[in-house]
């Protein structure tokens, strides 16, 4: 329990003892100091450090009002309860104006009321100290954080800013306060962002991780991530918004570099696939084809060969043909010729038909709305690979006889859905395990979707199949 130190200034000893006894019943732990006149009390205040002062109005040498004035001159912020034997409204008004926290008349119930008033003052004092600590804590955090902490009124004008704002956008907080939040926006998307924030304010909704570009005082653009919450008055109306803005310029630059590197990596991967495809098709497959032709001609030119030897040679010829077919399939897989010659939709249609035939899965492929879009070659190959990887995942893991592929153009997005009726899996558990697994199917698909600035959602449960939903902005 916090120590309670009371000072009672009362020139009548009997009244003091009754007040002390009344207070002791409720506050047995309190330390009580008694003074019969105010001057001595003033001299010893620094050594006593009272929690509350209870003073009579009529005192020898200095009355209660003069005592309050002296306290004010000494800048002593100590709660004072003024008491008097006679109710005087003028005295009460003067006492309250000078900072007295309460005013009591020595009536019949005075000694009953006094502990209640003391308790009220103690509670209020404790609350004020708690608020001061909270304010100090907030101030220390606001003054030392690297983030811009701000508050704006219901009209969007800044009414508070921590000093960090000058480090971020070059304006001292004195130049920020009183200005509108959108005054610092970059001209690009300024009106859209302004309208969006006012829309959130009108709906009394929080601002959640909103990216916005500000222009520094020196003209340099800074990318910020802003979040804020509305503060409501008693009627439920917005009184202000409080929030924080963080400089994410370096993070955005890093993300752009990573995005560009990923793009270059995938382009390099596709280029390498094309080179390998050409090498397999134009050299290895051709050499094997020439070897098979020569081998077959050799068999025909030697009609006298023993039957077992001839059968063995025909078996080798068949194996050569299988190797040629496998190499050509691999070559077409690495660089689908139909994609260049016939376009994305026809290439996917052919791929799904061949997949169905080769692996015994029924692939239902349909597309619509893509005539609205003119896709570049990079987007086409990414979409082709996404379908390819999705179907390969179904073949390897889903244990499903049927797959559904839908490619839709729904402006301004391209929607790709890949579904199966297989054994499914626990999505959260799989995502956690991706970092430790060597399988790259889902991870590769996510990376491609991220590269295209899209979103990929997976819905699956054990024995309930899997649905992959991909949305790519055009």
Q: What is the pLDDT along the chain (474 residues), one digit of tens a residue?
A: 578 899 999 998 988 999 999 998 888 888 999 999 999 999 898 899 899 999 999 888 899 899 999 998 888 888 999 998 776 788 888 888 888 888 888 887 888 889 989 999 888 888 888 887 877 777 777 777 889 999 999 999 999 999 999 999 999 999 999 999 999 999 888 999 999 999 999 999 999 999 999 999 999 999 999 999 999 888 888 899 999 999 999 998 888 888 788 778 777 877 787 788 778 877 887 888 888 888 788 778 877 777 788 788 888 888 888 888 888 878 877 778 888 788 889 999 999 998 999 888 899 999 998 877 788 888 888 899 899 999 999 998 888 889 999 999 988 899 999 999 998 888 887 776 655 555 557 888 888 888 888 899 999 988 889 999 999 987
Does 236 share its domain with 363? Answer: no
Does 113 share its domain with 50? Answer: yes
pLDDT of residue 218: 94
- Alpha-carbon distance of 354 to 358, in angstroms, equals 6
Does 243 share its domain with 298? Answer: no
CATH number at residue 237: 3.30.450.20
- Alpha-carbon distance of 158 to 372, in angstroms, equals 45
Give the residue from 335, 369, 400 where a domain finishes: 335
- Alpha-carbon distance of 233 to 422, in angstroms, equals 55
Does 359 share its domain with 324? Answer: no
Does 465 share its domain with 351? Answer: yes
CATH number at residue 467: 3.30.565.10
Number of CB atoms found within 10 A of residue 327's CB: 19
Q: Is the peptide bond before 412 cis (omega within 30 degrees of 0)?
A: yes
Supply the DSSP symbol for 135: H
Does 225 share its domain with 346? Answer: no
Strand partners, 33: 7
State the first-to-last Cα distance of the chain, in angstroms, to the nearest integer: 66
Does 13 share its domain with 107? Answer: yes
Does 94 share its domain with 29? Answer: yes
Task: Say if CB 38 and CB 70 are below 8 A apart.
Answer: yes
> In this structure, which long-range contacts are made by residues 437-445, counting pairs with CB atoms below 8 Å and at least 24 apart in sequence?
441/389, 441/392, 441/393, 441/396, 441/397, 442/393, 444/385, 444/389, 445/386, 445/389, 445/390, 445/470
Residue numbers of the domain that contains 466: 342-474
Give the residue from 141, 172, 206 where a domain finishes: 141
- Rg for the chain (alpha carbons), in Å? 42
pLDDT of residue 111: 87
- Tokens representing 193 are 């962002």
DSSP string, 190-240: HHHHHHHHHHHHHTT--EEEEEEEEE-TTS-EEEEEEEEEEEE-TTS-EEE
Q: What's the structural domain count of the chain?
A: 4
Does 79 share its domain with 172? Answer: no
Give, in degrees to the nearest 5, the angle at Cα 330 between 328 and 336.
Answer: 85
Place of tokens 């003074």: 35
β-strands 413-420, 466-473 pairing = antiparallel
Give the residue from 121, 141, 161 where a domain finishes: 141
Nearest to 450 by CA among 264, 259, 268, 265: 259
Exposed (0-12), middle (13-18) or buried (19+): which is 455, by Cβ within 10 Å?
middle
Does 319 share its domain with 374? Answer: no
pLDDT of residue 455: 92
Does 58 share its domain with 118? Answer: yes
């Amino acid at each position: 329990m916090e120590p309670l130190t009371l000072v009672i200034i009362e020139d009548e000893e009997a009244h003091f003892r009754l007040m002390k006894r009344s207070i002791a019943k409720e506050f047995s732990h309190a330390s009580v100091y008694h003074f019969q006149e105010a001057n001595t009390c003033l001299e010893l205040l620094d050594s006593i450090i009272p929690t509350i002062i209870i003073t009579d109005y009529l005192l020898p040498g200095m009355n209660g009002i003069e005592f309050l004035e002296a306290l004010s001159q000494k800048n002593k912020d100590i709660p004072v309860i003024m008491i008097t034997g006679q109710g005087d409204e003028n005295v009460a008004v003067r006492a309250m104006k000078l900072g007295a926290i309460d005013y009591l008349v020595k009536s019949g119930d005075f000694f009953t009321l006094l502990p209640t008033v003391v308790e009220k003052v103690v509670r209020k004092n404790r609350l004020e100290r708690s608020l001061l600590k909270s304010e100090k804590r907030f101030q220390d955090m606001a003054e030392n954080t690297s983030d811009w902490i701000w508050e704006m009124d219901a009209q969007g004008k800044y009414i508070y800013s921590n000093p960090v704002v000058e480090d971020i956008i070059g304006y001292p907080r004195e130049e920020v306060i009183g200005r509108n939040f959108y005054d610092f926006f970059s001209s690009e998307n300024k009106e859209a962002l302004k309208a969006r924030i006012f829309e959130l304010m009108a709906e009394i909704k929080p601002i959640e991780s909103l990216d916005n570009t500000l222009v520094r005082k020196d003209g340099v653009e800074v990318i910020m991530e802003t979040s804020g919450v509305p503060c409501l008055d008693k009627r439920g109306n917005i009184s202000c918004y409080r929030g924080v803005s963080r400089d994410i310029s370096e993070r955005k630059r890093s993300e752009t570099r990573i995005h560009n590197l990923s793009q270059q990596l995938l382009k390099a991967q596709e280029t390498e696939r094309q080179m390998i495809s050409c090498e397999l098709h134009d050299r290895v497959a051709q050499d094997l084809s020439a070897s098979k032709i020569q081998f077959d001609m050799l068999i025909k030119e030697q009609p006298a060969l023993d039957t077992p030897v001839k059968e063995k040679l025909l078996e080798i010829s068949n194996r050569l043909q299988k190797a040629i077919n496998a190499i050509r399939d691999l070559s077409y897989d690495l660089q689908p010729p139909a994609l260049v010659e016939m376009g994305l939709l026809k290439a996917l249609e052919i791929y799904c038909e061949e997949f169905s035939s080769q692996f015994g899965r029924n692939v239902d492929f349909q597309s619509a709305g893509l005539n609205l879009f003119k896709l570049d070659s990079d987007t086409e190959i990414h979409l082709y690979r996404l379908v390819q990887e999705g179907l390969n995942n179904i073949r390897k893991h889903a244990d499903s006889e049927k797959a559904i592929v839908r490619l839709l153009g729904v402006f301004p997005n391209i929607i790709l859905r890949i579904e199966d009726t297989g054994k499914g899996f626990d999505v959260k558990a799989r995502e956690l395990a991706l970092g430790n697994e060597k399988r790259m199917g889902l991870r590769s698909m996510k990376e491609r979707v991220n590269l295209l600035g899209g979103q990929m959602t997976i819905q699956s449960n054990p024995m309930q199949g899997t649905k992959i939903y991909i949305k790519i902005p055009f």
